[in-house]
Chains A and B, each alone.
Chain A
Amino acid sequence: MALATVRSLSYSYPGGLEALRECSLDLEPGEVVALFGPSGSGKSTLLRALAGLVPHFHGGRFSGRVEVAGLDTRRVRPAELAGTVATLFQDPEDQVVFTRVRAEVVFGLENLGTPPAEIESRALEALAAVGAAELADRPVAELSGGELQRVCLASVLALRPRLLLLDEPTSQLDPDGAAAAIELARSSGAAVVVSEQRPERVLDACDRVLFLDGGRIRDGALPEAWLPREAALPDAEPSGAPVCRLENVTFGYGRKPQVTLCYKEGERPAVENASLRVGRGEIVALLGPNGSGKTTLAKLAAGLLEPWTGTVTREGRACYLSQDPGRYLVAERVDEEAALAVGGDLSRARRTLAELGLAGYEGRHPRDLSSGERERLALAAVLVAEPDLLVLDEPTRGVDPERKDELTRLLRAQAPSRATLVVTNDHLFAASVADRVVSTAPERELAVA
């Protein structure tokens, strides 16, 4: 008997946006289903419907029927479904309730009425399972994105649900961490629905694939962009006149040691004696495991941080696009946002917006855009400045393969005019976009200028 059934489900958010159309599916106990589809195709909405959050939390127009473990989600509130269903949301930063890791994992267990004597042990067990046992007493604010994503995964696994809903659970994890997370979900024994933008990360682990397009579940083969690809990381020699050069750079977020660089326990620098060069015309991909200092190095290259020791030299203007840039938009109109970097030159901003497929959006408020559109706007807001050094930090996070291909083409087309440094843990993207790869992995030396 199916664990969950969805029958003729159509749903529109308040305000009229139709997210799902006539969706039907069955989920068997213990099976792993991968959910693919372009940004805005309804993947997150379908997961929310299975958790009862649609329509209870979001309102809107709901027709059809969703049943989980025999419970009709229209009649049972999401809090009552919790435990049977557990959801890991897209953005780990927005689902953290407590300030310390242990309390965060304990929260769900307490809500479900777990016997007090079991709560602590189950929380620690879940943390150990995701390889985060050592984080139990750390403040959440001090965790890296990847560590936080693992803690959130532990929070849902601790509930031992029968249906596990994962919305882009590996977006901030390095490939090894992603493989471990997916395997862990699979071995939990729950039925798993995992929405993912990087098919190669889940295809081997899943029993079947659903593809959503325009709110409908589409039958047939996956579109070409979604098929698994193999690509070797490029291994070219450094080329072009150097635009940015880091030499023996050390930097940490704590206080700088006064005389010599002797560090106390827990005060190691984020980057130590690193050297890197990026030449005009080349795209360099900066890879490495979570917490290895990729973002710090990128910020040092862009001039957003000053090194403790070592030198950073740059020629011309540098622009930096942060992780999750859609969160950091400040203007009231799309064209004004794009024009900020060029002193309010709206015509230049509109040209760049058109290049990124945002023509016609100029007068809209940036926060009214979808997440994919916000990401493109944020990219336009840096590209408009035509920088000599462009630094992009995880630009493919939450981006579907088709958009990723577009981004690759755009960066390749503009590459000759600048030096480009891309921080990513998406190896396929790195293979397709970069001329050269530099790793921050401890076992591999950085390319020396």
Chain B
Amino acid sequence: MRPAAAAALLAGLAAAALLAQRTISVAVIAALLLLLCLRAPAGRRRLYLVGALVSGLAVVVVTPFVEEIGTHVLWSGPTVPVLGHLDVTTEELRNGIFQGLRLTAVALAFAAYALLLDHDRLVSGTRFARRSVLAVALATRLVPTLERDAAGLVESLRGRGVEVTGARGRARLLSPLLAGSLERSLNLAEAMEARGYGRPGRTRAAQPAWTFGEKGALVLAVMLVAIGALWL
């Protein structure tokens, strides 16, 4: 399937997760996306999965403390400045799980997009908003590029007999990683301009026609949004 159709399907699933009103529906969508992500190589998917699950879990944990809904109190805590009285109700917990699953589903949809799609074909196949699609494709590459740079930094330090261990050791890599990615982005922008990027009159390489299945995927993506809004 061409990446544009697959991206549309993923977007449809993410939208359905955002529009659905039942926790079970969102959980099913998240599970489906998780299964998709598990098709990616283990080494590459780990960071994305950890990111998606941790952010979802964070929402589950934080939501009951910042919301004030429901009357079935499970736990009553102290009163703290700014946040007010801390308590956890069944309704807050339910809502936290619901919102956490929503975020996880959207993050997993992005993970599947980043891990499984051929971004080059996605950019080449795009007829409109090419700049935006290219910017998203380049941003998506940031994670693997940073991983490679981090591996290079760790290897460079190990080559000097310095082992990178613990949170402090890894934190020391953040600043050179950021500086390195800024340098890289400037060099890339220069190389793109030198190869005519942004010049009017751009063409695109001949693309194969959309197949019946790919058109069907687009229709299904639209249907997913409608189903999410109306029935889930």
- Residues on A lying within 8 angstroms of B by beta carbon are 51, 53, 56-57, 77-80, 82-83, 85-87, 89, 91, 94-100, 102-103, 106-117, 119-120, 123, 141, 155-156, 159, 302, 304, 317-322, 325, 327-330, 332, 340-341, 367, 378, 381-382, 385, 387, 391
Contact = CB atoms under 8 A, between A and B. Distances in A.
B197 interface: yes
Given A94-B188, A116-B204, A320-B159, A87 B179 contact: no
Max chain B C-beta neighbours (<10 A), residue from A78, A108, A109, A155: A78
B161 interface: yes
Interface string B112-128: 00000011110110000
B159 A57 contact: no
A85 B189 CA distance: 17
Interface in B174-232: 175-176, 179-180, 183-184, 187-199, 201-206
Contact of A322 (B144, B159, B179, B196): B159
B199 A97 contact: no
B173 interface: yes
Contacts of B120: 98-100, 102-103
B205 A111 contact: no
Contacts of A98: 119-120, 123
B206 A107 contact: no
Contacts of A317: 161
A82 B196 contact: yes
A100 B118 contact: yes
Contacts of B156: 322, 325, 328, 330, 378
10 contacts: A79-B199, A98-B119, A98-B120, A99-B141, A110-B203, A111-B202, A159-B196, A330-B157, A378-B156, A382-B160
A125 to B, nearest CB: 14
Given A113-B203, A382-B160, A94 B191 contact: yes
B125 to A, nearest CB: 11
A366 B28 CA distance: 51
A156 B158 CA distance: 37
Q: 4 nearest interchain CB pairs?
A: A320-B159, A82-B196, A111-B196, A95-B191
A117 B124 CA distance: 14
B153 interface: yes
Given A116-B203, A341-B162, A97 B192 contact: yes
A75 to B, nearest CB: 15
B159 A382 contact: yes
Given A95-B187, A97-B188, A304-B159, A82 B202 contact: no
A16 to B, nearest CB: 19
Contacts of B183: 94, 367
Interface in B85-126: 118-121, 123-124
